[in-house]
């Protein structure tokens, strides 16, 4: 008899649990996003990039002496000193020694070579400004190149937390002194 009562109670409990699972409705999210913020952010960034590109293009139109090149990575450059000799370019794993200075788009110095000090960079294996990472790989030893970096490949939204503010395009003049090839 005790066994029968126990089995009956267990069966009723089990059926109750099962039936309560069937009738329970899924909870709806408390909030949901429409993606509007991301769409607005994309549009803001497109406007910012277009305005910075326009500023650079206006600078280039005014300078009839120099020839400016547009890189596939979204920046422009001009040679201040060009090596015509067939010298190797730095590749991943090489070490480059370089100096650079940074200017605002009006040509005013932000950081001098003394401020930035000579640099050693293990190509593609260390973290440096995105634009410099791209630009250095197209330079030969002994060249001096002025790069015109839009803010998104310079210091971006955060700036450098010192003298370069939010979303500031820059001119970066780089002198590549030495390439130490990896074995």
Q: Which residue has the higher pLDDT, 125 or 28?
A: 125
List beta partners, residue 70.
76
Average pLDDT score, the chain: 87
Q: Give the integer Cα–Cα distance in Å for 111 and 104.
A: 10
Identify the pLDDT of residue 7: 47
- Give the C-alpha distances (Å, rounded to integers) separating 162 from 43, 125, 144, 178: 28, 25, 26, 29
**β-bridge pairing 144-149 and 170-180:** antiparallel
Which helix (H) or strand (E) segment is 95 a member of?
strand 95-103
DSSP 32-75: ---SHHHHHHHHHHHHHHHHHHHHHHHHHHH--SS--EE-TTS-
* pLDDT tens-digit series, residues 33-83: 667 888 888 888 888 888 988 999 999 999 999 999 999 999 999 999 999
Query: Is pLDDT at 85 greater than 50 in this prediction?
Result: yes
Tracing tokens 């590749």 back to the chain, one arrives at 91
Burial status of residue 74 (CB atoms within 10 A of its CB: 0-12, 13-18, 19 or more): middle
């Amino acid at each position: 008899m005790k066994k029968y009562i126990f089995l009956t109670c267990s069966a009723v409990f089990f059926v109750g649990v099962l039936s309560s699972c069937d009738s329970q409705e899924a909870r709806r999210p408390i909030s949901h996003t429409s993606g509007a913020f991301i769409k607005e952010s994309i549009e803001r960034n497109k406007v910012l990039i277009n305005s910075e590109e326009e500023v650079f293009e206006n600078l280039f139109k005014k300078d009839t002496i120099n020839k400016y090149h547009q890189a596939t990575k979204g920046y422009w450059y001009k040679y201040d000193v060009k090596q015509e000799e067939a010298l190797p370019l730095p590749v991943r794993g090489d070490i480059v020694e370089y100096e650079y200075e940074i200017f605002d788009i009006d040509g005013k110095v932000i950081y001098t070579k003394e401020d930035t000090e000579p640099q050693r960079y293990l190509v593609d294996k260390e973290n440096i400004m995105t634009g410099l990472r791209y630009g250095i790989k197209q330079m030969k030893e002994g060249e001096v190149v002025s790069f015109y970096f839009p803010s998104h490949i310079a210091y971006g939204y955060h700036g450098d937390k010192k003298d370069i503010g939010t979303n500031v395009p820059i001119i970066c003049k780089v002198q590549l002194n030495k390439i130490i090839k990896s074995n």
